[in-house]
Amino acid sequence: VAFGPEHMETGAVVGGLIEGGVAVGSGLYDATSYGAMSRALDAGWLPVEAFTDAPNTSLFYSGRTGDTFAWQRVRDVAAERGLTEILGNLDLAGMTFSYDPSPMQTQMWEEASLLKARHASGDVYVLLGDDVSPESVWSRIERPALEANPGVAIVTAIDFDGNERVIFSRHR
3-state DSSP of 78-134:
HHHHCCECHHHHHHHCCCEECCCCCHHHHHHHHHHHHHHHHHCCEEEEEEECCECCC
- Region 122-146: mean pLDDT is 95
Q: What is the mean pLDDT of residues 27-32?
A: 40
Which pLDDT belongs to residue 36?
62
pTM equals: 0.76
Question: Can you give the pLDDT at residue 11?
Answer: 37
Confidence of residue 61 (pLDDT cuts 50, 70, 90): very high
pLDDT confidence of 106, banded at 50, 70, 90? Answer: confident
What was the pLDDT predicted at 43? 67
